[in-house]
Structure formats: C-alpha cells, structure tokens
C-alpha cells in the first residue's frame, strides 16, 4: 500500500537549534511529496512541495526538504528554530489521491 511514515510523533528543540522532521515514503515510482504545517485550531498550510528533478526544495518560513530517492526520504529541516515554529507538521504524498502521515508535533523551548 502507498504510504508515508513520519518517525517521531513529538520532537522538542531549543530555540535557535536545528529542526529535523523525518518522512519516509513507500513507492516504486517517483512520488509527489509535500509538507504541511498545522497551527492550533487551523487548517493545514502548505510549506513546500517536491519538484521533479530537484533534490533540495525550499519552502516558506525558512524550511527546506531534501528528496533522497535512494533512501525514499523527504525530511524537513530548518537551520534555526523559532518559537513561532511550534506546530504540527504533516508529510503528504499524492498518488491518485493525497495520503497524509500521522504528524509530528514540534515543541520549541526558549
């Protein structure tokens, strides 16, 4: 079955530290991958999307994701965390329809 897997339901980092949120996908064909962010009581907002041919994708709010086909991964990173980054992050995959991972809650400590 097609799916995305997010490792770690909760991640906690200090303000200014590197953010790394992991996403692995299962597929034998190049997928269409996305990262979304959800703030409390809001819908999901697109952070970035994979573009065929690119390995490093830049998104909003300083986030970026690296596509590694050999590892079937699309991890999300940000060099320096801000308090405002505290939210839940979802990796998603489009193959006939959109599938979402179970999410990772990011906590940023002052």
Partner 1 sequence: GAGVSQTPSNKVTEKGKYVELRCDPISGHTALYWYRQSLGQGPEFLIYFQGTGAADDSGLPNDRFFAVRPEGSVSTLKIQRTERGDSAVYLCASSLRGTGNSPLHFGNGTRLTVT
Q: What is the CA radius of gyration of the chain?
A: 13
Contact stretch for partner 1 (CB under 8 A) within 16-24, 61-69, 71-79, 92-100: 92-100
- The sign of the CA dihedral 64, 49, 26, 70 is negative
Among 73, 75, 101, 106, binds partner 1 (CB under 8 A): 101
Which of 70, 66, 110 has the alpha carbon at shortest distance from 86? 110
**Residues in contact with partner 1, shown as a per-residue x/- string from 14 to 53 under the rule CB under 8 A:** ------------------x-x-x----xxxxxx--xxxx-
Nearer to partner 1, 37 or 108 (CB): 37
Nearer to partner 1, 13 or 47 (CB): 47
Contact stretch for partner 1 (CB under 8 A) within 13-21, 63-71, 78-86, 89-97: 89-97
Query: How many Cβ atoms from other residues are within 10 Å of residue 7's Cβ?
Result: 13
Asked if 7 is part of the footprint of partner 1 (rule: CB under 8 A), the reply reads no
- Whether 63 and 8 have beta carbons less than 8 Å apart is answered as no
- Whether 46 and 91 have beta carbons less than 8 Å apart is answered as no
Q: Structure tokens of 55?
A: 């390995």
Residues forming the site for partner 1 (CB under 8 A):
32, 34, 36, 41-46, 49-52, 90, 92, 94, 96-103
């Amino acid at each position: 079955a097609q799916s995305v897997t997010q490792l770690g339901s909760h991640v906690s980092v200090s303000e200014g530290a590197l953010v790394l949120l992991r996403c692995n996908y299962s597929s034998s064909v190049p997928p269409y991958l996305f990262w979304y962010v959800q703030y409390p009581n809001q819908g999901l907002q697109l952070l970035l999307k994979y573009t065929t041919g690119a390995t490093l994708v830049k998104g909003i709010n300083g986030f970026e994701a690296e596509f590694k086909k050999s590892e079937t991964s699309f991890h999300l990173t940000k060099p320096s965390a801000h308090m405002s980054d505290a939210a839940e992050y979802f990796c998603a995959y489009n193959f006939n329809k959109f599938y979402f991972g179970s999410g990772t809650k990011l906590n940023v400590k002052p």
